[in-house]
A and B are shown apart, each in its own frame.
Chain A
Amino acid sequence: MPGKLKVKIVAGRHLPVMDRASDLTDAFVEVKFGNTTFKTDVYLKSLNPQWNSEWFKFEVDDEDLQDEPLQITVLDHDTYSANDAIGKVYIDIDPLLYSEAATVISGWFPIYDTIHGIRGEINVVVKVDLFNDLNRFRQSSCGVKFFCTTSIPKCYRAVIIHGFVEELVVNEDPEYQWIDRIRTPRASNEARQRLISLMSGELQRKIGLKVLEMRGNAVVGYLQCFDLEGESGLVVRAIGTACTLDKLSSPAAFLPACNSPSKEMKESPLAHPPSHGCRSTHNSPIHTATGSRLTQNFSVSVPTLIYTGMGSGSAGKEGGPFKALLRQQTQSALEQREFPFFTLTAFPPGFLVHVGGVVSARSVKLLDRIHNPDEPETRDAWWAEIRQEIKSHAKALGCHAVVGYSESTSICEEVCILSASGTAAVLNPRFLQDGTVEGCLEQRIEENLPAGCGFCHIPYDELNMPFPAHLTYCYNCRKQKVPDVLFTTIDLPTDATVVGKGCLIQARLCRLKKKAQAEANATAISNLLPFMEYEVHTQLMNKLKLKGMNALFGLRIQITVGENMLMGLASATAVYLAALPMPGGIQIAGKTPSDGSYEQHISHMQKKISDTIAKNKELYEINPPEISEEIIGSPIPEPKQRSRLLRSQSESSDEVTELDLSHGKKDAFVLEIDDTDAMEDVHSLLTDVPPPSGFYSCNTEIMPGINNWTSEIQMFTSVRVIRLSSLNLTNQALNKNFNDLCENLLKSLYFKLRSMIPCCLCHVNFTVSLPEDELIQVTVTAVAITFDKNQALQTTKTHIEKSLQRASTDNEELLQFPLELCSDSLPSHPFPPAKEHLESARSNSGIPAAQRDRCSSWIELIKLKAQTIRRGSIKTTVTVEKASPMGEGNFRNRSAPPCANSTVGVVKMTPLSFIPGAKITKYLGIINMFFIRETTSLREEGGVSGFLHAFIAEVFAMVRAHVAALGGNAVVSYIMKQCVFMENPNKNQAQCLINVSGDAVIFVRESELEVISTQQPTANCQQSCAGGEVTT
Chain B
Amino acid sequence: MTSELDIFVGNTTLIDEEVYRLWLDGYSVSDAVALRVRAGILEQTGATAAVLQSDTMDHYRTFHMLERLLHAPPKLLHQLVFQIPPSRQALLIERYYAFDEAFVREVLGKKLSKGTKKDLDDISAKTGITLKSCRRQFDNFKRVFKVVEEMRGSLADNIQQHFLFSDRLARDYAAIVFFANNRFETAKKKLQYLSFGDFAFCAELMIQNWTLGAVGEAPSKPDSQVDDMDMDLDKEFLQDLKELKVLVADKDLLDLHKSLVCTALRGKLGVFSEMEANFKNLSRGLVNVAAKLTHNKDVRDLFVDLVEKVHLGPQFVEPCRSDHWPLGDVRLFLNQYSVTVHSLDGFRHQALWDRYMDTLRGCLLRLYHD
Asked whether B51 lies within 8 Å of A747 as measured between CB atoms, the reply is yes
Q: Which residues of B contact A747 (CB under 8 A)?
A: 47-48, 51
Report if A692-B12 is in contact (Cβ < 8 Å); known contacts: A747-B51, A748-B55, A954-B81.
no
CA distance A717 to B78 in the complex (A): 23
Please, which residues of chain A bring their CB within 8 A of the CB of B12?
A: 714
- Chain A CB count within 10 A is highest, among B1, B52, B64, for B1
CB neighbors of B among A720-760 (8 A): 720-725, 737, 740-741, 744, 747-754
Q: Is B11 among interface residues, defined by CB-CB distance under 8 A?
A: yes
Question: Once the chains bind, are B47 and A751 in contact (CB under 8 Å)?
Answer: yes
Q: Are A949 and B7 in contact (CB under 8 A)?
A: yes
- Judge whether A715 is part of the interface by a CB distance below 8 angstroms: yes
Q: Are A744 and B83 in contact (CB under 8 A)?
A: no
Known A744-B50, A752-B55, A908-B11: A945·B61 in contact at CB below 8 Å? yes
Q: Which residues of B contact A909 (CB under 8 A)?
A: 11
Assembled-state Cα–Cα distance A907/B61 (Å): 23
> Which residues of chain A come closer than 8 Å to B51, judged between CB atoms?
744, 747-748, 751
Q: Report yes or no: A720 in contact with B5, Cβ–Cβ below 8 A.
A: yes
Identity of the chain B residue whose Cβ is nearest the Cβ of A736 in the assembled complex: B1
Asked if B296 CB lies within 8 Å of chain A CBs, one says: no
> Which residues of chain A are near B82, meaning CB under 8 Å?
953, 957
Docked Cα-Cα span, A716 to B8, in Å, equals 7
Q: Is the CB of B80 within 8 A of A121?
A: yes
Of all chain B residues, the one with the shortest Cβ separation from A952 is: B9
Smallest CB–CB gap between B81 and chain A, Å? 5
Residues of B within 8 A of A13 (CB): 78
Known: A744-B50, A961-B80. A692 touches B10 (CB 8 A): no
State how many angstroms separate the Cβ of A962 from the closest Cβ of chain B: 11
* B65: contacting residue among A722, A902, A949, CB under 8 A: A949
CB-contact partner of A902 in B1, B11, B77, B81, under 8 A: B77
Chain B 70-103, CB-CB to A under 8 Å as 1, else 0, gives 0000010111111101100000000000000000
Taking CB as reference atom, which chain B residue is nearest A108?
B80
Give the chain B neighbours of A921 by CB distance below 8 A: none
Using known A-B contacts A714-B12, A724-B1, A944-B5, determine if residue A903 contacts B77 with beta carbons closer than 8 Å: yes
Instruction: For A752, list chain B residues within 8 Å (CB).
Output: 8, 14, 55, 58
Contact-residue size bin, chain A (C-beta under 8 Å from the other chain): 35 or more
Q: Does B46 sit at the interface, judged by CB under 8 A?
A: yes
**Contact A718–B7 (Cβ < 8 Å):** yes
Given A721-B5, A724-B1: A907 and B83 interface contact (C-beta under 8 Å): yes
Least CB distance, A907 to chain B, in whole angstroms: 7
Question: With A716-B8, A946-B61, A949-B61 as given contacts, are A906 and B3 in contact (CB-CB < 8 Å)?
Answer: no
Among A748, A753, A904, A961, the residue within 8 A (CB) of B54 is: A748
Any A CB within 8 A of the CB of B370: no
Q: B43 contacts the other chain (Cβ, under 8 Å)?
A: no
Contacts of B54 in A (CB 8 A): 744, 748
In the complex, which residues of chain A have a beta carbon less than 8 angstroms from the beta carbon of B7? 718-720, 945, 948-949, 952
Chain B residues, Cβ within 8 Å of A14: 75, 78-79
- Is there a chain B Cβ closer than 8 Å to A950's Cβ? yes
User: When chains A and B are docked, how far (Å) is the Cα of A777 from the Cα of B14?
Assistant: 23
| Contact indicator A904/B65 (Cβ below 8 Å) | no
Q: Give the CA-CA distance A957 to B79 in the complex, in Å.
A: 9
A692 to B75 alpha-carbon distance, docked (Å): 38
Contacts of B45 in A (CB 8 A): 692, 751, 754
Q: In this assembly, does A1017 line the interface, its C-beta being within 8 Å of a C-beta of chain B?
A: no
Which residues of A lie under 8 Å from residue B81 when comparing CB positions?
110, 118, 953-954, 956-957
Is the beta-carbon distance between A717 and B9 smaller than 8 angstroms?
A: yes
Q: Measured between C-beta atoms, what is the minimum distance from A268 to chain B in Å?
A: 43
A723 engages B8 (CB within 8 Å): no
- Confirm or deny: B4 has a beta carbon within 8 angstroms of a beta carbon on chain A: yes
Contact indicator A904/B50 (Cβ below 8 Å): no
Task: Tell me the smallest distance from the CB of B283 to a CB of chain A, in Å.
Answer: 55
Interface size on B, residues (CB 8 A): 39
Q: Which residue of A lies closest to B50 (CB)?
A: A744
Task: Check: A775 CB closer than 8 A to any chain B CB.
Answer: yes
A716–B11 touching, CB < 8 Å: yes
A466 within 8 A of B: no
- Chain A CB within 8 A of B2 CB: yes
Which residues of A sit under 8 angstroms from B11, Cβ to Cβ?
714-716, 908-909, 956, 960
Give bound CA distance, A960 to B79, whole Å.
12
Chain B: which residue is nearest A990 at the CB level?
A: B5
Q: For chain B residues 2-33, which have a beta carbon within 8 Å of chain A?
A: 2-14
Known: A716-B9, A948-B7. A904 touches B78 (CB 8 A): yes
Identity of the chain A residue whose Cβ is nearest the Cβ of B82 in the assembled complex: A953
Task: Report the minimal beta-carbon distance from B87 to chain A, rounded to whole angstroms.
Answer: 12
Which partner residue on chain A sits nearest B74 by CB separation?
A902
| A960 in contact with B6 (CB, 8 Å) | no
Q: Does B57 contact A (CB under 8 A)?
A: yes
User: In the complex, A692 Cα to B2 Cα: how many Å?
Assistant: 25
Contact of A692 with B80 in the complex, beta carbons under 8 Å: no
Q: Which residues of A contact B77 (CB under 8 A)?
A: 902-904
CB-based contact A953/B9 at 8 Å: yes
Please give me the residue from chain A that is nearest to B5 by CB atom.
Answer: A721
A780 to B: closest C-beta gap in Å: 9
Q: Which residues of B, 193-246, contact A by the 8 Å Cβ criterion?
A: none
* Given A13-B78, A723-B2, A751:B65 Cβ within 8 A: no
Bound Cα distance from A510 to B52, whole angstroms: 27
A942 at the interface (CB under 8 A from B): yes
Residue in contact with B46 in the complex, picked from A692, A717, A722, A744, CB distance below 8 Å = A692
Say yes or no: B9 contacts A721, CB within 8 Å: no
- Give min CB distance, B7 to chain A, whole Å: 4
Cα(A13)–Cα(B82), bound, Å? 17
A775 touches B1 (CB 8 A): no
| B202 CB, nearest partner CB in chain A, Å | 36
A13 CB to nearest B CB, Å: 7
CA distance A107 to B126 in the complex (A): 52
> Which of A121, A749, A775, A956 contacts B4, CB < 8 Å?
A775
Q: Is the CB of B80 within 8 A of A944?
A: no
Contacts of A944 in B (CB 8 A): 4-5
What are the residues of chain A within 8 A of B6 when measuring CB–CB? Answer: 719-721, 945
- For B17, the closest partner residue in chain A by CB is A755
18 A-B pairs besides A13-B78, A721-B4 with CB distance below 8 A are A14-B75, A714-B12, A716-B9, A718-B7, A718-B9, A737-B1, A741-B1, A751-B45, A751-B47, A751-B52, A751-B55, A902-B77, A903-B86, A904-B77, A904-B78, A952-B7, A957-B82, A961-B80
Q: Which 5 A-B pairs have the closest CB atoms?
A: A721-B5, A716-B10, A721-B4, A715-B11, A909-B11
Q: Taking beta carbons and an 8 Å cutoff, which residues of A are in contact with B? A: 13-14, 108, 110, 118, 121, 692, 714-725, 737, 740-741, 744, 747-754, 775, 777, 902-904, 906-909, 942, 944-946, 948-950, 952-954, 956-957, 960-961, 981
The 19 sampled A-B contact pairs (Cβ below 8 Å) are A714-B12, A716-B11, A718-B9, A721-B4, A722-B3, A744-B50, A744-B54, A748-B54, A751-B45, A904-B77, A904-B79, A904-B80, A906-B85, A908-B11, A952-B7, A952-B9, A953-B81, A953-B82, A960-B80
